[in-house]
Amino acid sequence: MAIKERMSGNEAVSYAIRQINPDVMPAFPITPSTEIPQMVSTYIANGEMDTEFIPVESEHSSMSATIGAEAAGARSLTATSSAGLALMWEELLLAASNRLPLVMALVNRTLSGPININCDHSDGMGARDTGWIQIYAENNQEAYDNFIQAYPIAEDERVHLPVMICQDGFITSHAVENMELLEDEKVKDFVGEYEPEEYLLNPGKPIAVGPYSVSNYAMEAKKNQEIALENSKEVILEVAEKFKKMSGREYGLFEEYRTEDAEYIMLIMGSAAGTSKEAVDHLRHEGKKVGVIKLRVFRPFPAAEIAEALKNCKAVAIMDRCESYNGNGGPLGSEVTSALFRNKVMIETVNYIYGLAGRDFTVGDACGIFSDLEEMMVNGKEIEQYQYIRLRK
């Protein structure tokens, strides 16, 4: 029977880590993810888990140690935010290219500068091309559920890639919500034991991890990594189906909210999806045919699936909580429009930048965006194609 509890997102992820009981967790504190290693180390000190906790001198070291532990055959993880993720940059690419199925809890926080500790997605989006699977949560329940699904995805023989489980800093990481936890034994059975085929500390079968690759081989290695990322879509859905049977909670690559007959759709990621859903409910009462697609899996990007989901609407607002500094829009704006074009779905799009460095995004803002889309399609109003929401004049 599910356990009803009240927890913050950081508490929920820490609880999931306790239930999984991985072998090794190196970590270095950084706001707003600091509570995760703090809580896990408390579980260890209290004898509730036997994970080896390694305090290190920097985030670069924490990812280096996590890579070393995983390569040695230990189920490993770490946690970080913002500049901590940026300091790991070199190691992120090594973890993915070495095909190590480790997991990281990323509590999304804006990257400097100017220095700011509040939420946006500039840290996760900055790492979008490092080869990691990226899964985003709307709320505390999803952060908990996503983390439990992470290892079965990462460790599947068709994948063998690291997974980044993302949640919005302070908005979910520190806010307390009602949620349902699973029993320890159910989580343990779901995740299973880690039995790597190849690992450094196997005395009967020595291997090299991360050797120099000459030009004759490096390109093939990168292609195999790309194939594994594509394979992960199928695995993510399989793991989600198993999780649904255990928990009753359903997950996919993205969630469609009231989109069946929607003429105008907002595509968004993370905690602000809840705000957008509130706006949709309000506008539906007024007879407006609007809906939301909440992207859960950003890497691998579900291009064909997104295009299929959007093909019958008139216009879509693509919402980025990150500036890409390309003069043309945000990361989601680029990915979604590319997906639509390649799949020959010719609908109107508008890319909005919102919520940078913790700037509010309200139900009224979301309603205004839906109104923009309708004005554009019905009355021919020209809408700025790349604009900031709530920018101070």
Task: Quote the CA–CA distance of 73 and 202 in Å, as a whole number.
Answer: 8
Pair (131, 182) in one structural domain: yes
| 3-class secondary-structure state, position 370 | helix
Pair (237, 260) in one structural domain: no
Task: Answer whether residue 42 is part of any domain.
Answer: yes
**Domain final position from 198, 221, 247:** 247
Task: Answer whether residue 318 is part of any domain.
Answer: yes
> What is the span of the domain harbouring residue 351?
254-388
Q: What does each of the 393 residues of the chain score in pLDDT, given as a tens digit? A: 689 999 999 999 999 999 999 999 999 999 999 999 999 999 999 999 999 999 999 999 999 999 999 999 999 999 999 999 999 999 999 999 999 999 999 999 999 989 999 999 999 999 999 999 999 999 999 999 999 999 999 999 999 999 999 999 999 999 999 999 999 999 999 999 999 999 999 988 988 898 899 999 999 999 999 999 999 999 999 999 999 999 999 999 999 999 999 999 999 999 999 999 999 999 999 999 999 999 999 999 999 999 999 999 999 999 999 999 999 999 999 999 999 999 999 999 999 999 999 999 999 999 999 999 999 999 999 999 999 999 998
Task: Quote the CA–CA distance of 321 and 138 in Å, as a whole number.
Answer: 13
Give strand pairing partners of 353: 320, 388
| Residues ≥6 apart with Cβ < 8 Å to 340 | 306, 307, 310, 346, 347, 349
**Domain final position from 219, 247, 275:** 247
Q: Taking Cα atoms as reference points, which of 362, 364, 178, 392 lies closest to residue 271?
A: 362
Pair (194, 132) in one structural domain: yes
Q: Taking Cα atoms as reference points, which of 92, 83, 105, 140 lies closest to residue 270?
A: 140
Pair (275, 243) in one structural domain: no
Pair (238, 262) in one structural domain: no
Task: Answer whether residue 84 is part of any domain.
Answer: yes
Pair (355, 269) in one structural domain: yes
CATH number at residue 63: 3.40.50.970
Q: How many CB atoms lie within 10 A of CB 31?
A: 18
Task: Quote the CA–CA distance of 138 and 175 in Å, as a whole number.
Answer: 12
Task: Answer whether residue 393 is part of any domain.
Answer: no
Q: Taking Cα atoms as reference points, which of 252, 187, 232 lies closest to residue 12?
A: 187
CB 340 within 8 A of CB 333: no
The structural domain count of the chain equals 2
CATH number at residue 324: 3.40.50.920
Pair (209, 86) in one structural domain: yes
User: Full-prediction pTM beyond 0.95?
Assistant: yes
**Domain final position from 205, 226, 247:** 247
Task: Answer whether residue 359 is part of any domain.
Answer: yes
Question: How far is the CA of 140 from the CAs of 2, 125, 177, 282, in angstroms?
Answer: 16, 21, 7, 24
Pair (194, 295) in one structural domain: no
